[in-house]
């Protein structure tokens, strides 16, 4: 039984594409059945359409608030019988109505090593600027389950990269993005293989 995956994306969708490639290579026992974006014209939508995957644009301003928006996302995902929600470069905060509809079945990727450089305001280039300003010697990416608090759910996979003396935020972001494209497909593979368990805050890989 393949896991039905719903993707939420706001940008180019390179993480989604890495997962699509891994599915096409037969590595993941799942299929992406819908891609939803808050941004009309997002690159992720074009990538999905080119692959014949149904897409939806759902704009937060069309809803009365974060909870109404999250409830609408949940309803749309449920209408496609989604089992796993993959947030891949999704720039919106999701709240209880979505999180409770998919308990421990929503993943997100953050371009830093949680619990460092994460939480409100830490997204995109702001993350990498903060890493460089702080003088950290390593950074990386984190795939985690989504909970109410931003970037705070149980950690599934992390991959680290060195921070170089002459790094710019863009150079660091690009080095991390390569690792994201390894980490995210692996996290989805493990989930779809039924190999992820959760014990308190810890994710355990079974089998």
Partners of residue 199 on adjacent β-strands = 202
Should residue 89 be labelled a site residue for ligand GRF when binding is judged by CB under 6 A? yes
> Smallest gap, in angstroms, from Cβ of residue 1 to ligand GRF?
27
Taking CB under 6 A as the criterion, the residue among 88, 106, 114, 188 binding ligand GRF is: 88
Comparison of 84 and 109: residue with beta carbon closer to ligand GRF: 109
Among 2, 6, 15, 14, which Cα is nearest to 183's? Answer: 15
CB of 74 to ligand GRF, least distance (A): 20
Cα(118)–Cα(50) distance, integer angstroms: 33
Q: What is the separation, in whole angstroms, between the first and last Cα of the chain?
A: 18
What CA–CA distance (Å, rounded) separates 30 from 165? 41
Kindly indicate which of the ranges 7-15, 27-35, 67-75, 78-86 contains the residues binding ligand GRF, using the contact rule CB under 6 A.
7-15
12-20, 31-39, 61-69, 157-165 -> range binding ligand GRF (CB under 6 A): 12-20
Compute how many residues bind ligand GRF; rule: CB under 6 A: 13
With binding defined as CB under 6 A, does residue 6 bind ligand GRF?
no
Vertex 26 angle, CA 48 and 18, to 5°: 40
- CA-based nearest residue to 110, from 143, 64, 146, 153: 143
Q: What number of other Cβ atoms are within 10 A of residue 24's Cβ?
A: 10
Closest CA to 20 of 44, 39, 38, 55: 44
Residue list 144-203, contact with ligand GRF (CB under 6 A)? 177, 180
Secondary element (H or E) of residue 50 = helix 43-50
Q: Does the active-site annotation cover 110?
A: yes
Restricted to residues 103-132, the positions that interact with ligand GRF (CB under 6 A) are 109, 111
Site stretch for ligand GRF (CB under 6 A), options 9-17, 58-66, 162-170, 188-196: 9-17
Catalytically annotated residue among 80, 110, 125, 128: 110
Please give the residue ranges that form the binding site for ligand GRF (CB under 6 A). 9, 11-16, 88-89, 109, 111, 177, 180
């Amino acid at each position: 039984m393949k896991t039905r995956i719903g993707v939420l994306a706001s940008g180019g969708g390179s993480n989604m594409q890495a997962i699509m490639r891994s599915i096409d290579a037969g590595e993941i026992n799942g299929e992406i059945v819908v891609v939803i974006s808050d941004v009309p014209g997002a690159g992720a939508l074009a990538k999905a359409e080119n692959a014949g995957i149904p897409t939806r644009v759902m704009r937060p301003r069309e809803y009365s608030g974060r909870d109404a928006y999250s409830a609408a996302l949940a309803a749309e995902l449920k209408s496609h019988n989604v089992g796993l929600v993959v947030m891949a470069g999704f720039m919106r905060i999701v709240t209880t109505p979505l999180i409770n509809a998919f308990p421990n079945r929503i993943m997100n990727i953050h371009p830093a090593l949680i619990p460092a450089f994460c939480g409100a305001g830490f997204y995109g280039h702001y993350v990498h600027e903060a890493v460089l300003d702080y003088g950290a010697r390593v950074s990386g990416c984190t795939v985690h389950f989504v909970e109410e608090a931003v970037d705070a759910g149980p950690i599934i996979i992390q991959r680290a990269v060195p921070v170089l003396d002459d790094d710019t935020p863009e150079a660091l972001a690009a080095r991390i993005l390569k690792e994201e494209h390894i980490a995210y497909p692996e996290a989805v593979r493990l989930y779809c293989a039924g190999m992820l368990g959760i014990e308190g805050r810890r994710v355990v890989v079974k089998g």
